[in-house]
Amino acid sequence: MNYTVLWRPRAEAALTGLWTAGPDRGAIAAAANEIDARLRRNPSTEGESRDDGTRILIVAPLPARYFVSEADRTTIVTTVWRWGKQP
């Protein structure tokens, strides 16, 4: 059974800003789509855990911080940013 992936407004705004300003819009869109796909399947095994209960998944050039609610099978992306050098 899949999880529902929701992006907080702050994360959506950051993604929009990165896409709008980035010379690599295709890479940003592909990374965001891959993040969504991976977090729909089994988010608790993706990325790395953090002490505050969140996880970080990196799909270059985007890392995404998120948390999982097992009770309602929802994954919430709280923030996203650029990782690595810009082309």
CATH code of the domain in which 70 resides: 3.30.2310.20
| pLDDT above 90 for 1 | no
Q: Is 27 helix (H, G, I), strand (E, B) or coil?
A: helix
pLDDT in tens, 12-47: 999 999 999 989 999 999 999 999 999 999 999 999
Average pLDDT (61-77) is 97
**Per-residue pLDDT tens for 45-61?**
999 999 999 999 999 99
In total, how many domains does the chain have? Answer: 1
Residue 27 corresponds to which amino acid?
A
- Contact partners, residue 71, CB within 8 Å, separation at least 6: none
The residue segments making up the domain with residue 42 are: 4-80
How many angstroms separate the CA atoms of 28 and 59, rounded? 9
Buried-state track 46-81, b at ≥16 Cβ within 10 A, e below 16 = bbeeeeeebbebebebbbbbbebeeeeeebbbebbe
